[in-house]
Amino acid sequence: MLELKNINKYYNPGTINEMCLFDNFNFEVKQGEFVSVVGSNGSGKTSMLNIICGSIDIDSGSILMNGKDITGARDYRRHQRIGRVFQNPSMGTCPTMTILENMSLADNKGKKYNLKPGINKKRIDTYRDSLRQLNLGLEDKMEVKVGALSGGQRQAMALLMSTMTPIEFLILDEHTAALDPKTAEIIMELTGKLVKEKNLTTIMVTHNLRYAVEYGNRLIMMHQGNVILDKKGSEKETTEVEEILELFNEISIECGN
């Protein structure tokens, strides 16, 4: 379970540019939930993910992961328990390293490093089997540098690598936004498959309302640092894209857009 309790975050406090991002914000994700998060730009979606992952500090409040307070934990400590895939495919892989080296790096996440070879040859067949499920032919290109791959191939690898080691939460930050429609569909199908197979508690921020409706068992909409819509279970299953779009339009009118 993930809990954000009474989160407060201000940018440029005490200046004329002071901006309130979160004011006593509370949010809870239960074990096994796949939460789709939608909202307009500036609503706090990605900032919430950054707070969870430790990329930005909070002014006050607490963050609990499975009952353990991780508020003061640095980001690299949290990433031992969290897998994250970014919007930019290049952020989840190392372009100057080969596919094999990237897979090995992900496989050693959270482990202590020593003077032994970084690649365990006994694991190469396992890496090939993992890559084969992508149906992108990457299992036959183990010595190719990741920088030579397409954005979709790199994003598929980033998703696979983020779930190679046991994690408690999967964070997806608009991970299909930079992809063409066909590749985005492939990545979403892979996402659904991995989340189901590994029973991952997942938070997915997306601007694609169809993905938000079709994937996951819970849907929330954020606006100005608050959750203004929260649908789960059977209520989520009957939600239509038009319903979410209508709420978006109402918000736009209220904001004068």
Q: Quote the CA–CA distance of 130 and 103 in Å, as a whole number.
A: 10
Q: Quote the CA–CA distance of 199 and 40 in Å, as a whole number.
A: 29
Residues 171-195, buried b or exposed e (16+ Cβ, 10 A)? bbbbbbebbeeebbebbbebbbebb
What's the CATH number where 7 sits?
3.40.50.300
Residues contacting 18, CB < 8 A, separation 6+: 10, 11, 12
Quote the pLDDT of residue 64. Answer: 94
> Do residues 35 and 206 touch, judged by C-beta distance below 8 A?
no
Residues contacting 14, CB < 8 A, separation 6+: none
Q: Does any domain span residue 104?
A: no
**Full pLDDT tens readout for the chain, 257 residues:** 899 999 999 988 888 888 899 999 999 999 999 999 999 888 889 999 999 999 999 999 999 998 899 999 898 888 888 999 999 888 889 999 999 999 998 888 877 666 566 677 888 999 999 999 888 889 999 999 999 999 889 999 999 999 988 898 999 999 999 888 888 998 999 999 999 999 999 999 999 999 999 999 999 999 999 999 999 989 999 999 999 998 888 876 666 55
The residue among 191, 124, 126 whose CA lies nearest residue 155 is 191
Q: Does any domain span residue 231?
A: yes
Quote the pLDDT of residue 218. Answer: 96
Q: Which pair of tokens denotes residue 201?
A: 């508690």
Q: How many domains does the chain have?
A: 1
Counting DSSP H helices and E strands in the chain, the numbers are 9, 10
Q: Does any domain span residue 62?
A: yes
Quote the pLDDT of residue 255. Answer: 63
Quote the pLDDT of residue 9. Answer: 93
Q: Does any domain span residue 156?
A: no
Q: Quote the CA–CA distance of 1 and 3 in Å, as a whole number.
A: 7
Q: Quote the CA–CA distance of 25 and 18 in Å, as a whole number.
A: 18
70, 135, 188, 256 from 168: Cα distances, Å:
13, 26, 20, 41
Q: Does any domain span residue 131?
A: no
User: Residue 79's domain spans which residues?
Assistant: 2-93+166-254
